[in-house]
A and B are shown apart, each in its own frame.
Chain A
Amino acid sequence: MKKIARRDKLKIYGDLLTVLCAESKEDKIVLTRVQVQIKVPFDRLKTYIRELDELGLIQDQTSLRLTEKGKQYLVEYENVLDFMKRMGIAYR
C-alpha cells in the first residue's frame, strides 16, 4: 500500500480549500467526495472544516463555500506553492 507523506495543518488547509474551491462549481458539495480527495478520516475532516469556519475561510459548515478571505488565502497558497516548485524546493 502506498504510504501518504505526513502533512502539516497548513498543507491540509490548503489542500482542503483547493478541493472545496473545485467542488463549489457543482450544485452541492458532497463531503464524502471531499474526504476521498484530501485523504483524511471523516472525523478529522469535520474538525478541519470547523477550524476553517472559525478562521473565516468558508461561509459556513453546511454550504462549505469559500469566503473572499478564503479565496484570497487560496490564491496566495497556490502562488507560493507554485513558486517553491519552480525554485526546486519541496514543501513537505
Chain B
Amino acid sequence: MNPYDYQTFRIAYEVISAIICLVLVRFMIKPYQLTKESRYLGLPLGFGFLGATYALAAFIFYQPYFFGSTTIYLQLILRSFAFIFLVVTYYFSRQTADVGRKLWNTTLAILIIAFLTLFLPVIIPDIALPSYQLTSSFTRVFNLICIIYICAHTLRSHVEKPEPETIWIPFGYIFLAISQYLLIIFAVDESMAAWWSALGIRWVALAIFLIISCRSFYCFKRGD
C-alpha cells in the first residue's frame, strides 16, 4: 500500500472508530442519567476518552505537524485514562451505593489531578519527554492489564448469573485485550501482520459493544 493510500485508510479507520465510540457514549451515559449515581460516569468517560484518542489519531494522520510531536504522547495518556475510568467503574459497581459513591468521588478527583499532572508536561514546550517507543510500550502493557481486569470482572458477573446475553461483553473486552496485545507485539518486532490484525480486532470489539447496546435499548424483548 502506498503512503498516500495508507494515510487515507488510517484516517477513515480512526474516524469510524471515533464515531462508534461517540455512539457508544450515548448508550453508556444512560445508567448515570437514570440513577444519577456518579460511579457509573466512568463508562461514558472511558468510551469518550477512547473515542477522543481515535479522533486525535485521525487528526495526526491528517495533519502530522499541526500540534507538534507531543500530540502522540497526549494520545497515549488519554487512552490509558480511558481504560482506568472503565476499570474503576467496574470495581466500584460491586460496592454498595453509599461506599461506592464516596470512594468514586474521591477516586475521580485523584484521577483528574493525575490526568492534569501528566497532561501539563506534554503541552509545556522545552520539557524533555521520555522516548515514545518506551512510553508507548509501557502504556500498552498497562492498558492490557486494565482490560484483563475488566475481562475477569465481566466474566465473573457472567459466571455468577449465567445468561446467554451476558457472555458477549466479556468477549468484546477479550477482543480489545487481544488488539492491545498485538500492538505490543508490533512495538517489539514491527510485525505488520500483528498491526493489521490489531486494527481488525479492535473493530470486532467495538462492533460487539455497539450491537449489545443497540439490542438492550432497541430490540423487542420479553414478549411485550
Residues of chain B lying within 8 A (CB to CB) of residue A10: 34-36
B205 vs chain A, min Cβ distance (A): 14
Q: Output the least CB separation between B147 and chain A (Å).
A: 13
Q: Determine if A77 is an interface residue (Cβ-Cβ < 8 Å).
A: yes
User: Are A85 and B166 in contact (CB-based, < 8 A)?
Assistant: yes
Across the interface, which residues of A come within 8 angstroms of B157, CB to CB? 88-90
Interface residues of B in 6-42 (CB under 8 A from A): 27, 30-31, 34-36, 40
Task: Flag if B31 contacts A84 (CB, 8 Å).
Answer: yes
The interface on chain A, measured as residues whose beta carbon lies within 8 A of the other chain's beta carbons, has a size of 20
- The majority secondary structure among interface residues of chain B is helix
Contact indicator A89/B31 (Cβ below 8 Å): yes
- Please, which residues of chain A bring their CB within 8 A of the CB of B216? 79, 82-83, 86
Interface size on B, as a range, is 20 to 34
Interface string of A34-65 (1 = CB under 8 A from B): 00000000000000000000000000000000
B114 adjacent to chain A (CB < 8 Å): no
- Interface-central residue, A8, A84, A86, by most chain B CB under 10 Å: A86
Quote the shortest CB–CB distance from A86 to chain B (angstroms).
5
The reply to whether B168 and A86 contact each other, CB–CB distance below 8 Å, is yes
- Out of B34, B97, B153, B165, which one reaches A92, CB within 8 Å? B97
Query: Are B213 and A91 in contact, CB atoms less than 8 angstroms apart?
Result: no
Q: Is B74 an interface residue (CB 8 A)?
A: no
Known: A88-B90, A89-B31, A92-B97. A79 touches B169 (CB 8 A): no
Contact B34 A77 (CB under 8 A): yes
* CB-based nearest B residue for A83: B216
- Point out residues on B near A: beta carbons under 8 Å: 27, 30-31, 34-36, 40, 43, 89-90, 93-94, 96-97, 153-155, 157-158, 161, 163, 165-166, 168-170, 212-213, 215-217, 221-222
